[in-house]
Structure 1
């Protein structure tokens, strides 16, 4: 046989051997284990106490009143930030309003009851209604929470002073009017982390 035939025969024998070995059965050791995993989502639960901030009758220009209420984290996750949305409706008793009653109600957010002279942020209800809730979080709650948010089980005071501004002008159009204010607090979690 010449060299080409010998190589071809050798190669054919090798392929046949590999095929026979590959088609045979193998016996080997094996082991398996199961793991049980749980992924449980936490909860965000911001409570506000009391839920009714203001209920005042017979206001006149120049009157002011301070209200204190607690922001409480009753959830299982730390609250990273809180935003505030303001909405209100005005009942015009005489149908003669040429201005928004909310423009005449000044709102001052204060540090706490011990430091009532220290204002965090001052605006009117009309302006507060148009401010982005994120801005409110930065300017008010960032200060109240010292930039740390509200940890699980913690509570923090929110002290607010409302003033019916006396602008030294005729405000007769607001006699008998009422303003219904709704504040919506929205809590958001802290950033996720590697655990």
Structure 2
């Protein structure tokens, strides 16, 4: 056998050995198992059920100073998570038909009282004006804190709280003729906040 044949045979033998060694690295027992896990977030979902036209909390006309309007509405938690707070954001626009308000703000003359009934006794738990309510800081807008006294349970999933509010067009004993024919469009936004996280 010539030198070239010997060299060729040696290279082939070496390649076969490497192939066997390489192939041997896959010759072991194995087992694979796949486990599928899921994370599903709950939902925060509240809605307001008013008693007036178009489900509004209040819809009234022909007001005059001294008039009071008592209204109830339902705060429904239709989500899957408990609610710890409901922050109320209030805003309004005044329609001045006569253009003679001269800087007077009808919202300053509308008093708002949030009420609760304790053993058939009505109690005012928060009182303000529409103007103040619409400019107050966020810490002062916790509706459940006012109505429920900040109780730990808040508004549980699938439950409803009936809330009562009284509006009053305050008669300040002075000339309020500038408000004749005016209107006020009120918007209340209810922002639900979750309870604290917990071990699952």
2:147 is the alignment partner of 1:123: no
Residue 113 (structure 1) shift: 8.7
CA distance in 2, matches of 1:105, 1:132: 19
User: How has the CA–CA distance of structure 1 residues 114 and 95 changed in structure 2, closer, same or farther, with 3 Å as cutoff?
Assistant: farther
What TM-score do the two structures reach when normalised by structure 2?
Answer: 0.79
Residue 132 (structure 1) shift: 2.1
CA shift digits 1:94-147 (9 cap, x unpaired):
11103100000000000149756301100000000001233211xx41243424
Partner of 2:43: 43
Q: Following superposition of structure 1 onto structure 2, how do residues 1-195 of structure 1 map, counting pairs within 5 Å?
A: 25=24, 28-50=28-50, 51-98=55-102, 99-112=104-117, 115=120, 117-137=122-142, 140-145=143-148, 146-195=151-200
Q: Structure 1 regions of 5+ residues with no counterpart?
A: 1-22
CA distance in 2, matches of 1:175, 1:116: 35
CA distance in 1, matches of 2:184, 2:196: 38
Residue 166 (structure 1) shift: 0.5
CA distance in 1, matches of 2:133, 2:188: 10
Segments of 4+ in structure 1 off by > 6 A?
none
